[in-house]
């Protein structure tokens, strides 16, 4: 157990533990229920930094994106691993994207990004409902699409930026509302609060606030970007790739940094996403994980 002196509003490191060995020890005596090899069983094609996707579950279906020509996106039974459906998608490689599930009265839609596309797939049967072209230099689209009240926002780094799509009532069609390349987060998604989108740009190196309805910039600040960003109680928690965690209050016309600290442990890139659970902030850096009390 290790402790660190932190600025106001950040209590102390509850623990810092090298991850990996402890998890293996915890699960080594647990039996495997089922296993699937996406490369061998489902036409999967690996990509430069290997497929990186948080799996998504809806009822008994587990969704994943092997990126194969025939099995581009698939749904497996979460209890058995058996195939429920496979979709050709647009036949593209996967793109590090973790999908979102849009629950409409008529259907559930799996929204994800592959190599050059935003895809809307019927979660019941794998039918492709619509596609929107979305490209960047490296085919890297790690940000999960964000849905709110009939609209879907998808955004990528490397200067690509984001696009707002309006879904039809039954989700079978889309129409582009606006696009903007000034906000282009690369290592972390955005946060939507009170009709505004907050994120840290890649090329601009700015923390930005843009309007959800129009995509127009409301204000920005030359600080703490690139970074990943999450929110709690109306505040923004920003973990920059320089290794600083900032607590930021978004005002009507500016950002106020309330407190910050430098991550004390770990090596290599500061790209892991922050997590808040039960009034505790979890920060990972390389093989180290730190937990901070943020209850006050």
Q: Can you give the pLDDT at residue 178?
A: 98
Helix or strand (DSSP H, E) at 276: strand 275-277
Q: Which residue in 120, 118, 152 sits closest to 135, CA to CA?
A: 118
pLDDT in tens, 143-195: 999 999 999 999 999 999 999 999 999 999 999 999 999 999 999 999 999 99
The residue with greater pLDDT, 14 or 249, is 249
The residue with greater pLDDT, 61 or 13, is 61
Mean pLDDT of the chain: 91
**Predicted confidence (pLDDT) at residue 39 exceeds the cutoff of 60:** yes
Whole-number Å distance between alpha carbons of 8 and 245: 13
Whole-number Å distance between alpha carbons of 14 and 272: 19
**Predicted confidence (pLDDT) at residue 1 exceeds the cutoff of 80:** no
Local structure of residue 94 (DSSP, 8 states): B
* Tokens coding 142: 């790690």
Whole-number Å distance between alpha carbons of 162 and 164: 7
Within 10 A of 3 (CB to CB), how many other CB atoms are there? 11
Position 32 confidence tier, pLDDT thresholds 50, 70, 90? confident
Position 212 confidence tier, pLDDT thresholds 50, 70, 90? very high
Residues β-bridged to residue 231: 236
Stretch 115-133: mean pLDDT: 98
Q: Can you give the pLDDT at residue 18?
A: 54
Burial of residue 90, with CB atoms counted within 10 A of its CB: 0-12 exposed, 13-18 middle, 19 or more buried: middle
């Amino acid at each position: 157990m290790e402790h660190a002196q932190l600025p106001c509003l950040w209590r102390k490191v509850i623990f810092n533990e090298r991850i990996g060995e402890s998890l293996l020890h915890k699960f080594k005596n647990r039996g495997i229920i089922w296993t699937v090899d996406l490369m061998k069983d489902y036409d999967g094609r690996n990509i430069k930094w290997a497929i990186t996707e948080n799996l998504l579950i809806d009822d008994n279906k587990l969704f994943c994106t092997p990126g194969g020509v025939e099995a581009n996106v698939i749904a497996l039974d979460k209890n058995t691993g058996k195939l429920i459906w496979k979709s050709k998608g647009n036949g593209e490689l996967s793109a590090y994207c973790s999908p979102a599930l849009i629950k409409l009265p008529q259907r559930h839609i799996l929204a994800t990004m592959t190599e050059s596309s935003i895809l809307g797939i019927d979660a019941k049967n794998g039918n492709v409902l619509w596609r929107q072209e979305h490209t960047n230099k490296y085919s890297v689209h790690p940000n999960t699409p964000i849905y709110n009240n009939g609209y879907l926002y998808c955004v990528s780094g490397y200067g690509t930026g984001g696009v707002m799509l309006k879904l039809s009532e039954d989700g079978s069609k889309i129409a582009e509302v606006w696009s903007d390349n000034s906000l282009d987060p690369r290592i972390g998604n955005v946060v939507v609060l009170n009709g505004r989108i907050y994120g840290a740009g890649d090329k601009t190196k700015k923390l930005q606030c843009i309007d959800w309805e129009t995509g127009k910039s409301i204000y920005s600040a030359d600080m703490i970007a690139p970074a990943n960003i999450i929110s709690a109680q109306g505040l923004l928690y920003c973990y920059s790739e320089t290794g600083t965690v900032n607590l930021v209050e978004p005002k009507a016309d500016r950002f106020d940094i309330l407190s910050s600290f430098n991550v004390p442990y770990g090596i290599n890139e500061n790209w892991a996403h922050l997590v808040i659970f039960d009034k505790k902030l979890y920060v990972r850096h390389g093989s180290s994980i730190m937990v901070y009390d943020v209850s006050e």
